[in-house]
Amino acid sequence: MRGPHNIWRLIRTGATFERTGAMAVALDAVEAPRRVRIAARILGWPFAWLGYKGDPALPPVTRAITALGPAYIKFGQILSTRPDVVGPELAEQLSMLQDRLPPFDQAQARRIVTEDLGQPVEALFSEFSEPVAAASIAQVHRARRADTGAEVAVKVLRPKVEAGFRRDIDAFHFAAGMIERLSPSSRRLRPQDVVSHFESVVTGELDLRREAANASEFAENTSGDAGMQVPRPHWHLSSRRVLTSDWAEGIPMGDVAALRAAGHDLPALGGRVLQLFLRHALRDGFFHADMHQGNLKVAANGDVVIYDFGIMGEIDEYTRRVYAEILMGFIRRDYMRVARVHFEAGYVPRDRDMTEFARALRAVGEPIFGADASRISMANLLAYLFEVTERFGMRTRTELILLQRTMVVVEGVARSLDSQINMWEVARPVVESYIRDNLGPRAAIHDLGRSAQVLARFAPLLPEFLERRMPELLRETPAEAAPRRSGFARGLVCGAAIALASALIGAWLA
């Protein structure tokens, strides 16, 4: 499917931005150089008539994005949380993409619920409202269960949304392949892998059963976290296209005026959102990866209510430790430590100069410290960081894409509540706590214990393995056997040492 027909789709994308007037607005927002503006005008103007018209009642950029489809809307949602990158006016226009898109007909929603749950809507719900929120993939109805009277949210997938995403992602794959062929230097950023990662994330979001599982696991992980609430799914009222969960009552986090009028402490809320995200990412390795204002509310008691678990991020324990070390290095302004961690983790090629890399990181980090937060341009900071990664040959880490993207989104949410927030100071206690628990003596004991468990699990297989392998080892010549036997001996010694250490630790704990 990823053939030249996608050229037409990409041409229509540019033409839509030109026809709706979004091209000029977007270039102004990011302060594009004059030559880029001229080139965009020359390339876009002749094809403007090919673009989608969109809804004339909407602002230009929002009009273009909604006309182009769900994949573009997802990208617009990210930009809506970054007024420091696209400007407050454009961010305000894009904020409607979070949960204020045009809904589809309620009759269609009722038909989908009936088909998927096997009973008429009236038999399942005593109340079933008109759509109260509509986003790129689904819309939400406020309802009341007929059996218990509990108030719930019923999320229904948009009709034919899967086909729209497949078409858009197909064009993205084609564009990524063209970029790699035409610009070999871009291959280190792995555009095709990035698109594949985005595709896997979106595919999971189109099955609401997976979202229910995400919500259930996230609720269990965070059950002891103060200052937050998670609506739980109602499994027997959920399916692939329908998700029923507890109703999330509260003021939308995007309505700053209403939050202020209700007497909520906005700087404290901003700091808590950032700390909650870091705690979930570092402690659990399982975090909400779509934490824009449309998925956050503030309850009457001040709790942060997190919902919509279609996109979740997951990182393994080793990566979490690396990420924490990097954050801690920046917090303590120890740029050599940050550089060393990058090299040890293989993020930077070993043939590069570590000292020079540390110096480049200093140029990224120092402007943050001691400066008025409102004067820091994240757009310029991200642009310079991109130059650093290009200069040192760093490749895109697809496993960190969601983590990095969510960090940008969450910081944008926090800044909307407190423009003076110091990200590093707020992050410090969470990162220090994680490092204390996972990179010190306690972590070493925990790692030894886990290694002992693995060794004990495979211990019954060890005699059979030795009986099978020893004759082969004995038949080898001394020259052939030396490297293998050396490694084998080291493995036995390490296994014995782990077993002994674990036994001593177990005895001490007992």
In 3D space, the residue among 146, 164, 160, 159 whose CA is nearest the CA of residue 109 turns out to be 159
Q: Which residue has the tokens 């280190």?
A: 188
Measured distance CA(154)–CA(248) in Å, rounded: 11
Enumerate the β-bridge partners of residue 100: 134
Q: Residue 22: which H helix or E strand, with range?
A: helix 22-29
Residue 3: left if φ>0, alpha if ψ -120 to 50, beta else—which one?
beta
- Compute the chain's Rg from CA coordinates: 26
Cβ partners under 8 Å of residue 315, min gap 6: 281, 285, 323, 399, 400, 403
For the CA atoms of 117, 123, 126, 130, the dihedral, rounded to the nearest 10 degrees, stands at 50
Enumerate the β-bridge partners of residue 157: 138
290 classed as catalytic: yes
- DSSP code of residue 311: S
Q: Which residue has the tokens 């790692």?
A: 447
Measured in degrees and rounded to the nearest 5, phi and psi for residue 52 equal -70, 145
- DSSP code of residue 440: S
Measured distance CA(400)–CA(406) in Å, rounded: 10
Task: Give the end-to-end CA distance of the chain in Å, rounded to a whole number.
Answer: 62
Measured distance CA(423)–CA(331) in Å, rounded: 9
Task: Give the pair of three-digit tokens for residue 383.
Answer: 């642009």
Cβ partners under 8 Å of residue 387, min gap 6: none
User: What is the side-by-side strand order in the sheet with 242-246?
Assistant: 125-134, 138-145, 151-157, 242-246
Q: Which residue has the tokens 């999971």?
A: 204
Measured distance CA(253)–CA(271) in Å, rounded: 13
Query: Which position among 84, 290, 308, 418 bears the catalytic label?
Result: 290
Q: Residue 508: which H helix or E strand, with range?
A: helix 478-509
Q: Residue 131: which H helix or E strand, with range?
A: strand 125-134
In 3D space, the residue among 287, 222, 279 whose CA is nearest the CA of residue 435 turns out to be 279
Q: Just list the catalytic residues.
A: 290
